[in-house]
Amino acid sequence: MTLVDTNVILDVLTRDSKWLEWSVEQLHHRRDIGQLSINEIGYAEIAVRMSSEAELQFALNELSIVLDRTPTPALFLAGKTFQRYRRAGGPRVAILPDFFIGAHAQTARLAILTRDARRYRTYFPNVELITPEA
């Protein structure tokens, strides 16, 4: 199973001129390997762009992406990893979702399909990342 980062899904839904081709190609490739999923964080981030829950579910169905609930150990790990980030001087900005996604991938041993791997590489170095530079 591959955990898909929000940025990749939004590339497809918004038909991003720079990233659409790469994101579609990677989604097809990873779907051939196994199930594509998002967790609650990604679901909520995508919901911001949708007018209804039905529209969001339709989009995920079209992309063959399922909702995979975050395991409780991953929630704890996300909080502790974010705490380590803050203690190291990391600013308090809207990046906590990355820690939830990274912790989910680490505890469930999932790869992450993303265009923004910086924090994942730093705080979840054992997670397989599928990125444009990989």
* Cβ-based neighbours of 47, under 8 Å, separated by 6 or more: 53, 56
Which CATH code for domain 2-130?
Answer: 3.40.50.1010
61 burial (CB, 10 Å; 0-12 / 13-18 / 19+) is exposed
- pLDDT in 10s for each residue of the chain, 134 residues: 999 999 999 999 999 999 999 999 999 999 999 999 999 999 999 999 999 999 999 999 999 999 999 999 999 999 999 888 888 887 776 578 889 999 999 999 999 999 988 889 999 999 999 999 85
DSSP-based three-state secondary structure for 78: helix
Task: Name the residue with tokens 């529209």.
Answer: 55
Q: What are phi and psi of 116, to 5 degrees?
A: -125, 90
What's the pLDDT at 94?
58
Domain chopping of the chain, boundaries? 2-130
